[in-house]
Structure 1
Amino acid sequence: MTSSEQNEPAAPLVPQAPAAESVPLADLVETRLAAAPLGEPVKALLAEALGSAQTPGNSPMGRIFLDSVSVEGFRGIGPRAWLNLNPRPGVTLVVGRNGSGKSSIAEAVETAFTGTNMRWLGQDATRTSNWRNLHDGAKTEIEVKLTVEGDSGRSTLTRGWTGHDITDCVGTFRRPGHGAVPLDQAAWKQALTDYRPFLSYVDLGRMISGKPSQMYDSIATILGLGHLSAAYNHLGLQEKALGDAVKAAKNELPEMTAALYTLEDDERAVQALVAIETKGRPDFEALDGLVAGLPSDDDGLVAELRAAVDMQGPDLEQVGAAVDRLREALAGVEDVRLSGAEDALQRAGLLEKALAHNNRHPDEESCPVCGTEQVLDAAWAADAGAQIALLRQEAKTAEDARSELRSAARAAQNLIETPQRIPAALTDPWNEWLACRAISDPAQLVQRFHDTALTLADACAAVKDNAVRELEKRDERWRQLVTRLASWTEKARTAADAEPQLGLVRKARAWVKTLTAELRERRMEGFTGHSQRIWEKLRQESDIDLQSVSLQGSERANVRKLVMDVTVDGEEASALSVMSQGEQHSLALSLFLPRAATADSPFGFIVIDDPVQSMDPAKVNGLAQVLHELGEHRQVVVFTHDTRLQRAFTTQELPVTVFEVERGKASKVNVKAVTDPVRQAIADARALASTESLPEAARTHVLPALCRIALENAFVEAAWVQHLRSGGSEHDLQSAVADADKLMKMAALAFFGDIGRTGDVYRELRTRCGPRAVDLLKQCQSGAHATGTRIADAHRFVTEISELAQKVRKTEVAK
């Protein structure tokens, strides 16, 4: 049964957290803070800063493991496909040829969590637009079932798309007992950045080929000190705000005192200077008294004078233009009145009324006015309509003139505005100006509008001049100065209150800085040690030693970089300058994988896509060992098309779960569990043997062929195991396996490590496994010939082949 045909898996057992991991950073900081020789105010500041550094949605939750992934309409996957996983530590390989859809599943997991995919960042739109499946993209959805330590049931992460762009998506997270929330409110939001559990070849390339600052940031983040850095920055913002307050008062003080000294003959200025220069802190009570003695601008005559100064009268240029237009419109109406247009307008109106009467009384032919008989007939109506048209055309000039007159009058009246406040001296002329709004006669309006505007403009100018002179008589210099004094007093009061708090914040920030430096060094040592251990497994036959990994600079520095010191046969060198592409790839893995082992990460899984690129065969064995060790504490899911990684696990007898991805027509992707290839072939043979009425050709050809496959795989495995145990070159063995195109050659390679000794295979097989083993081998060989081989008891034959295969897998190389 393929995984895509399975029902929903039962709720799994919750995995236990590994005991060997280091103490989470939050617990360590809490312990150190409690023991720190700091005053309670400083500890309170630190507790607040460390609490505020928790990103919203970053609440504690148990470690997260992948339970299953279902994908529909995304990338290379059309109809819904499932990958069911074991949500606990261990290694799972998802294999398949290029184009099978395995990378689409890997990208789907990352996209479900993050809403995007690392391989698409910075890519041209033509590369990122085809994210929907071409065969079945009507509905695109990714659903990831999760197991969270401590929860009673599984959680569900779902991401669906509402538009055509890859970013037009919505993610939700449903957790037992917590309901459903938007995915950006999930508990791992910040952790996705700090402990990114997704690794593709794009990540590896960027880790090594990125800018020095990017390489620095990628490692600095893995150290897990982001929480402390956020607290340090939070305290820095407080320090800056308090420091700015103190600086603001100090920076303005010289100018403030200088201005007061210019009025030293004024008793108020002298009192202000004495209050400012009081020892310790300014005499704020005295300063407040001086400021409070200032009359408000909104009260009394000062307010009236300021309103008069700010008053704006009619714009005489606009008034003149409006008057000219109004007079021209009046002249136009007069010209029309003296012409025949006005008479035509009246006659047209009269004829329209007569024609309307005739339409209402079509049977009356006599004139209702003079009584003349048989005059209002159809001919008359037609003639009247024609006359109306001619008269209306002649009268249009009169209508246009009247319309322009009305428009000119409205434009003039629209210039008349009512201010919020009118000085008393301007009340009468302003009311006369406002009264023009009510004049309906344009002839009367034009003269009144012009005269009142001139009067009001002159009155405004006179009132403004008087107000300016009156204000100048008053003590405006002191007023302006005391306004500045009031502003400085508030800043000085804030600064006086800030200085003690500033000292506490600086102590708190210094404690965080010291602790961060200590933990950075300690964690960097652990990180470097972990990276070196991984490198030792991956380097295999490489002559390059990784001596140290260090960070130069700080997170906020413009110049910061990751330094990797190596030696080549004992000679010091820079890593990237001497390493091959495959070695750089292995180095990137050495730098990246430690992030999955940190105790601060909430992710119990890591998803790795295509990690075997550019690796020599020997390094693949080391990678299997690294992944195995990582899998002791983490759920490791690796997607690869390279069969060497699966073989590396098998030949080194490392436990691994393998799934194979197959892509059929119309992007139908199936995921099936892959068992031991020997057992798989035996199982297929046993199933065939159990078939009722088995055709003769199947018994003589197909059944021995399946058993031959089982023996071939057993011989290959035995050859790999023995070759690796003897310390032989993996490249040499690969070449030998490729040349062993016959079953006998493969057996010779397994028994003797030499495909040329096929003549000794039967003897060695008889010695090791008995005479029946030779007959079984010959029967498997005969099945490939045209005559086939006769098998009396199919079930017994399969059982004997199974026993023989197990003996072969445990064989030792003969001399």
Structure 2
Amino acid sequence: MEATTLTAPLISEVLDRLDADVRASGVVANLVVGALRDRLDDVINGVVVDRPKSAQGEESAPVRTFLESVAVTGFRGIGPTSTLDLRPGPGLTLVVGRNGSGKSSFAEALEFAMTGDSLRWAGKSLEWKNGWCNLHAQDDPAITVELRVDGERERRTVRVNWSSAKLESARTAVTVPGYGRQDLRSLGWSEAVKTFRPFLPYKELSTISEGRPIDRYNALAPMLGMEALQAPIEDLRQARLSAERQWTDAEEHVTHVTDLLRGSPDERASTAMEALSGAWDLDKIEALVTGTDPASAQREGLLAALEQLSSPDPERVAVAASNLRAAAERQEALRGSDAERAERLAGLLEAAVEMHEQHGDTDCPVCGRDNGLHSERVADLREEIGRLRAEAGDVFDAGRALLGAQRSAREAIGTIPQMLGTAADTDIGVDVSALVAAWQAWIDAPDAPVDLAVHLESTCLQVEEATEAVRAAAATQRRRLADQWRPMVESLAEVLPVARQGLSAAQRVTPLRNAENWLKRCEAAIRDERFDSVKAQVADVWETLAVGSNVTLEDVRLGNKKVVMDVTVDGDSSVALGVMSQGELHALALSLFIPRVKFETSPFGFAILDDPVQAMDPVRVDGLARVLDSLAQTRQVVVFTHDDRLPTAVRRLQISATIMSVTRRPRSRVELKISLDPLQAAIEDARAVELSGGLPGEVSRRVVPNFCRQAIEAACLESGRRRLLGMGIGLDECEEKWSDAPRLLPRIAIALYGDADRAGDVYGTLNNKFGRWAADTVRACNEMAHSGAPETMDLKEFINSAESLAKKLAVL
């Protein structure tokens, strides 16, 4: 037992669900707790692991961080130092520049400084990656990002420097007020940058929309904060797989051993095969290995006993036979002697005395005299018996010696060994019938002393020879069985621990699988509950971006390592990715990204998007502008784009935003400036050329009218689009009408009437509406677009007229 510890809210929620689930058995619950506490092996080994205590209180909201600036030197498309200044806090910033202007280099520099990598480089060759260092940088390459953290008075600074031309030589240092220089980990974003990655380069946008199902899953799932359950689930899975492998390995070993046993004639092989079929009886296998199973033990004991079986002792038998002959000869020598007669008479008198003791005075049984056997007579007889016995002592001794010799002979013969009966009744591979017969003949000895002596001398050798034969046969059988069984027992000894481990593992498989499945179901349930809010955001973003699409996103849910999207096309169900256009796919990818940066538990107050407009038609560009505007209410949104349609949409929809233009000058000098609207930008450019003393007059007179024309066209684009939309014409058709009218007069006609075909009415309308000067200004723009302004023209006054007309046309 051990002290309990506090645990994360997610783990606490899992434990609460575990307690509430009556279907989770004690074993399953213990395995789940062990996995959650990284103590699964201990639980499997029988250790009781206490459940951790839940942390009290709600999770505190994360402290948000915003970007204040990013300065880049010698990195990617930026040579000399260029700084992108940002307003820390919620709001929308568009960084606009043509391809190759260096705008994406800021995005990549931000991503690299904050994460140590860039998704744009994923899958690129080493040669491509090594081109990161700009050739025109005069100073050492560097990236400096200044951050503002809520509640901190001083900014934090992230600096990246390189010690060589190799990208991996980058060294990142973080300056935290009051703590000096630290590494990137000091920001505490190591996990958050994976979970709520606030960067969306075009590479990731394409990956989400066109990549594998797991790529879309990874764009959404991490933000739900379910990672804490991945390791426990994987631990349970690996433990289950390990147990399954152990069981499978044990089965394979047993099958191999069974195949070996099948070819063995030893009856123990059959016993082992039976023990290894069906439910394994490993105790029986262990008994076979150690030789302690009853059958083996009996057979081995019998063979060992037979191998040590003794026969009658020849010396003892010879002595018994000799003694028997000697006793018989001595008795024979005393036959017919006075001693023998005295012995017989003494015996007769002893019978008379015994009769008197039983019946008292009576007639004499010897002479027949009446009352001849009386007390006085018995006393005399006793004296006579003593004398006769003394005289017959040799005969008595000889008889006693013969009895002793006969007894010794019988003892020398002995009895048939009991094991021979057991061996005869047991199949041990040794024939003892000859020995049993020899013993039977041996014990069937005659009673006559001389005959008995002859029997001893003639039959003992037969028993001895039969015994030696059985001993030899038993020894041979033991060796044969041992040699025959040895490889089998070695295999069984080898498989026994594997089989025991396999059986133990097999008993773990089902509980582990149940624990794994329970935790998976629990994870899915919590994940789905947390995903509900994300699902709503995905649907809202998609609905905004998919204006005019015939594809309806009916449902979004997380499956097994994939995002399941149910869509309908004109009401019919279909597969999302199979029916969506490229623009719709990008809109879908953005729908999956936006919830990631809006998640409340994210510490990032900013979101960086690089070229999200690609493949979008005008309606969806407007939708994107609205989505970015919504996101910018709570997040600092920085969008890098080369597509003028996004800033145009932002201006037209009157969305509050800072629009910056990026221009790449010679030798990778990148300039950033606050961008005016297209009308004012063209007028400012015209004034700059007119005021420039460094340009030849001929150049100024040719360039200024073109800028003035651009200002008028920019004004007509905005007012003309409004007029067409007001007429019920869709945005796509608006853009098409504008593209189909490349000349100035048809475009003014679109602004005035909503009809490019009325270009011939333009001059009259301008004269009537604004005065003759307005028509003259348009006429001059047309005429001077190719020939240039005459030397006598006052360019400053012409610019003022063009500006005035453009502003009037812009508000139509």
TM range (shorter): 0.5 to 0.7
Aligned to 2:204, the other structure's residue is in SS state: helix
The answer to whether 1:551 aligns with 2:558 is: yes
Alpha-carbon displacement from aligned partner over 1:526-576 (angstroms, at most 9, x marks no partner): 2222222222222233211111122223xxxxxx33222211111111112
Aligned pairs, number: 549
Aligned to 1:721, the other structure's residue is in SS state: helix
Aligned mates of 2:609, 2:601 — CA distance in 1: 20
CA apart distance, 1:145: 0.9
Aligned to 2:173, the other structure's residue is in SS state: strand
Aligned mates of 1:214, 1:611 — CA distance in 2: 18
Partner of 1:655: 656
Q: Tell me the amino acid that sits aligned with residue 156 of structure 1.
A: T
Aligned mates of 1:639, 1:713 — CA distance in 2: 22
Report sequence identity in percent. Answer: 38
Partner of 1:278: none
Aligned mates of 2:62, 2:179 — CA distance in 1: 12
Listed as ranges, the matches of 1:695-734 within 5 Å are 706-734=707-735
Aligned mates of 1:37, 1:532 — CA distance in 2: 35
Partner of 2:201: 200
Partner of 2:542: 535
Listed as ranges, the matches of 1:89-168 within 5 Å are 89-136=90-137, 139-168=140-169
Aligned mates of 1:783, 1:192 — CA distance in 2: 56
Aligned mates of 1:59, 1:113 — CA distance in 2: 24
Aligned mates of 1:235, 1:150 — CA distance in 2: 43
Give the 3 Å change call, closer, same or farther, for CA 691–134 of structure 1 in structure 2.
closer
The answer to whether 1:636 aligns with 2:637 is: yes
Aligned to 1:145, the other structure's residue is in SS state: strand
Q: Tell me the amino acid that sits aligned with residue 551 of structure 1.
A: L
Q: Tell me the amino acid that sits aligned with residue 116 of structure 1.
A: D
Give the 3 Å change call, closer, same or farther, for CA 516–689 of structure 1 in structure 2.
same
CA apart distance, 1:226: 2.6
Listed as ranges, the matches of 1:442-591 within 5 Å are 516-553=523-560, 560-591=561-592
Listed as ranges, the matches of 1:593-632 within 5 Å are 593-632=594-633
Aligned mates of 1:52, 1:768 — CA distance in 2: 80
Q: Tell me the amino acid that sits aligned with residue 170 of structure 1.
A: R
Q: Tell me the amino acid that sits aligned with residue 633 of structure 1.
A: T
Partner of 1:84: 85
Contact 2:719 2:811 in 1 (8 A): yes
Give the 3 Å change call, closer, same or farther, for CA 695–111 of structure 1 in structure 2.
closer
Q: Tell me the amino acid that sits aligned with residue 790 of structure 2.
A: T
**Structure 1 length normalisation: TM-score?**
0.56
Give the 3 Å change call, closer, same or farther, for CA 563–510 of structure 1 in structure 2.
closer
Aligned to 1:746, the other structure's residue is in SS state: helix
Alpha-carbon displacement from aligned partner over 1:276-297 (angstroms, at most 9, x marks no partner): xxxxxxxxxxxxxxxxxxxxxx
Aligned mates of 1:256, 1:166 — CA distance in 2: 67
Aligned mates of 2:672, 2:217 — CA distance in 1: 39
Partner of 1:270: none
Q: Tell me the amino acid that sits aligned with residue 530 of structure 2.
A: R
Give the 3 Å change call, closer, same or farther, for CA 699–550 of structure 1 in structure 2.
closer
The farther-off stretch of 523-532 and 677-686 is 677-686
Q: Tell me the amino acid that sits aligned with residue 531 of structure 1.
A: V
Q: Tell me the amino acid that sits aligned with residue 217 of structure 2.
A: Y
Contact 2:35 2:233 in 1 (8 A): no
Listed as ranges, the matches of 1:341-356 within 5 Å are none
CA apart distance, 1:586: 2.0
**Structure 2 length normalisation: TM-score?**
0.56
Q: Tell me the amino acid that sits aligned with residue 532 of structure 1.
A: A
Alpha-carbon displacement from aligned partner over 1:105-157 (angstroms, at most 9, x marks no partner): 21111111122211222222222221111232762211111111111121111
Give the 3 Å change call, closer, same or farther, for CA 680–616 of structure 1 in structure 2.
closer
The answer to whether 1:646 aligns with 2:647 is: yes
The farther-off stretch of 693-702 and 716-725 is 693-702
CA apart distance, 1:263: 13
The answer to whether 1:787 aligns with 2:808 is: no
Give the 3 Å change call, closer, same or farther, for CA 59–111 of structure 1 in structure 2.
farther
Alpha-carbon displacement from aligned partner over 1:34-92 (angstroms, at most 9, x marks no partner): 99989xx99999998999999xxx99862111111111111111111111112222221
Aligned mates of 1:127, 1:611 — CA distance in 2: 23
Give the 3 Å change call, closer, same or farther, for CA 775–155 of structure 1 in structure 2.
same
* Structure 1 unpaired stretches of 5+: 1-24, 242-252, 265-502, 554-559
Alpha-carbon displacement from aligned partner over 1:572-611 (angstroms, at most 9, x marks no partner): 1111222233322222222222211111111111111111
Aligned to 2:757, the other structure's residue is in SS state: coil
Give the 3 Å change call, closer, same or farther, for CA 782–791 of structure 1 in structure 2.
farther
CA-based RMSD of the aligned residues comes to 5.3
Listed as ranges, the matches of 1:52-71 within 5 Å are 62-71=63-72
CA apart distance, 1:174: 1.4
Partner of 1:676: 677
Contact 1:565 1:572 in 2 (8 A): yes
Aligned mates of 1:663, 1:192 — CA distance in 2: 31
Aligned mates of 1:562, 1:538 — CA distance in 2: 19
Contact 1:92 1:638 in 2 (8 A): yes
Aligned mates of 1:562, 1:792 — CA distance in 2: 61
CA apart distance, 1:735: 3.8
Aligned to 2:161, the other structure's residue is in SS state: strand
Give the 3 Å change call, closer, same or farther, for CA 686–73 of structure 1 in structure 2.
closer
Which of the pair has more CA radius of gyration?
Answer: 2
Q: Tell me the amino acid that sits aligned with residue 611 of structure 2.
A: D
Aligned to 1:655, the other structure's residue is in SS state: coil
Aligned mates of 1:551, 1:75 — CA distance in 2: 38
CA apart distance, 1:158: 1.1
Give the 3 Å change call, closer, same or farther, for CA 257–577 of structure 1 in structure 2.
same
Aligned mates of 1:688, 1:634 — CA distance in 2: 39
Aligned to 2:181, the other structure's residue is in SS state: strand
Give the 3 Å change call, closer, same or farther, for CA 48–105 of structure 1 in structure 2.
same
Q: Tell me the amino acid that sits aligned with residue 547 of structure 2.
A: Q
Aligned mates of 2:700, 2:65 — CA distance in 1: 50
Contact 2:92 2:637 in 1 (8 A): yes
Q: Tell me the amino acid that sits aligned with residue 745 of structure 1.
A: P
Alpha-carbon displacement from aligned partner over 1:667-707 (angstroms, at most 9, x marks no partner): 22112221122233444566778899999989987766654
